[in-house]
Amino acid sequence: MDKQKILNIALIVTLGLLLMQMFTRQPATTDVTVKDDLEIGIKNELTIGTAVNLTLKNNTEAVMTFANTCPKNPFTVSEYQNGEWKTLSAQAQNCPAGDTVIQPGESKVITYQHFQKDLFSEIGKYRIEIPVSNKTFLKDFEIVNPNIFGKVWRILIYQPVYNALIFLTQISGNSFGWGIVLLTLALRLILFIPFQKSLASQRRLQKIQPEIDAIKKRFAGNQQMIAMETVAIMKKNNVSMFGSCLPILIQMPFLIALFWSARDGLGENSLIYLYSFIHDFNPALIATNFFGLDLVAFGNQLYFALPIFLAISQFFQMKLALSKTKKKTPEEKKDSTNENAMAEAMQSMNKFMPYFLPLMIAFFSATMPAAVGIYWGTSTLFGILQQLIVNRQVK
């Protein structure tokens, strides 16, 4: 095996591990502190950037009422510094109003999302003190760093993409929608060449598929000759298996970072990832309405329109990407070997996917904030234009 193949395999393994890290959570146990009348639930360790939420359960027969301290943070929060607990404080402009009332036997979640950046942006040990009648209940927990893959993901990929989204939102008149569109287009332009190579390689592979099928039929049972002839014809037509999958793996982390930024970009928990030069950013000043769509909420009058648009555009893109295949004659079907049967199964799947995947994307987008749909729709429209270019070049 030559050095280039070894490097390609190493890169694929590394990117695969990175993707696994992005989609998996570190195991953490939820510690429930039971002290007399109050149960306090929170994880013992929280990765930095994770929302700090307390689950309080009333074990008494009386109603518990916790006064609203807005704009100040609820309860007393302390950080362990230099051998002692130092009290912290923060204020928020858009914290929820009203007291927190917990009926007997019920539970309520107290969130610190509006105070996250000021209270829990540093690694360390923290304590929250909760007064109930003449007692004070304490709960300690830690804010910790992610593992090595999480650090690489956050520093090299997610933070640059997230900060670019906020910057583009600010310069586009504080429009979150146009910020998403501009960032999506910018990333697709940056990744244009890897995308182009990947799409062109896939298209060329589709065009030589009949020749590959003929090789399988001619050398049926001789796997060595099939492999040699297939490699030769792929080399002749400038088709590489790594050429089609490697660019996709390279681009995926950036596209996932864009997806997360669009989904969580205005969340208070994400503000700790802002660079120092992006100062005075206030999510409350950002316009989240984009052509009648509320990008961060569900259930408006145009809620159904976006998933339908995404399904139609995705279907069109997939039909452009898949080449038409000639139907086999009955004689060819009789001569099919096991390998050809597998090829038939793959062709059946290719016929099924243009209908299934758009429906899946429509359902998925209907369960997410509209910001995610704007990102996906913009990327799909760009992909359609790029696929048209590739099809014309290959043809």
Q: Please give the pLDDT value at position 97.
A: 76
How far from 17 is each of 9, 152, 243, 256, CA to CA, in Å? 12, 11, 20, 14
pLDDT tens readout for residues 86-145: 999 998 877 777 899 999 999 999 988 888 888 998 899 999 999 988 888 999 999 998
Query: Is the pLDDT score of 11 beyond 70?
Result: no
Residue with tokens 């193949």: 5
Residue 56 sits in the same domain as residue 182: no
Residue 53 sits in the same domain as residue 199: no
Q: Please give the pLDDT value at position 342.
A: 46
- What's the mean pLDDT in 68-80? 92
Among the candidates 106, 121, 144, a domain finishes at 144
- What's the mean pLDDT in 176-180? 92
Residue 80 sits in the same domain as residue 100: yes
Residue 117 sits in the same domain as residue 203: no
Residue 127 sits in the same domain as residue 187: no
Q: Please give the pLDDT value at position 338.
A: 47
Q: Please give the pLDDT value at position 114.
A: 81
The residue among 56, 60, 26 whose CA lies nearest residue 42 is: 56
- What's the mean pLDDT in 46-74? 89
Report if residue 16 sits inside a domain.
no
Confidence tier at 336 by pLDDT (50, 70, 90): very low
How many C-beta neighbours within 10 Å does residue 52 have? 21
Residue 260 sits in the same domain as residue 298: yes
- Greatest distance between any 2 Cα atoms in the chain: 89
Query: Is the pLDDT score of 25 beyond 50?
Result: no
Residue 211 sits in the same domain as residue 173: yes
Residue 176 sits in the same domain as residue 275: yes
330 token code pair: 């009955």
Domain encompassing residue 134: 30-144
Report if residue 239 sits inside a domain.
yes
Report if residue 133 sits inside a domain.
yes
Residue with tokens 């995705």: 314
Report if residue 1 sits inside a domain.
no
CATH of the domain at 132: 2.60.40.1930
Q: Which of 267-271, 286-290, 334-338 has the lowest mean pLDDT?
A: 334-338
Q: How far apart are CA 234 and CA 245, in angstroms?
A: 15
Residue 153 sits in the same domain as residue 138: no
Report if residue 8 sits inside a domain.
no
Domain count of the chain?
2
Among the candidates 85, 111, 144, a domain finishes at 144
Query: Is the pLDDT score of 346 beyond 80?
Result: no
Residue 130 sits in the same domain as residue 169: no
Residue 69 sits in the same domain as residue 213: no
Report if residue 11 sits inside a domain.
no
Q: Please give the pLDDT value at position 205.
A: 76
Q: Please give the pLDDT value at position 200.
A: 75
Report if residue 254 sits inside a domain.
yes
Q: Please give the pLDDT value at position 253.
A: 81
CB 170 within 8 A of CB 281: yes
pLDDT tens readout for residues 214-226: 888 888 878 888 8
pLDDT tens readout for residues 278-330: 867 878 788 988 888 888 776 554 667 888 898 999 888 888 877 555 555 55
Report if residue 2 sits inside a domain.
no
How many C-beta neighbours within 10 Å does residue 117 have? 18
Residue 106 sits in the same domain as residue 195: no
pTM of the full structure? 0.65
Among the candidates 82, 116, 144, a domain finishes at 144
Confidence tier at 16 by pLDDT (50, 70, 90): low
How far from 178 is each of 140, 168, 381, CA to CA, in Å? 42, 8, 15
In Å, how far from its chain's centre is CA 221?
44
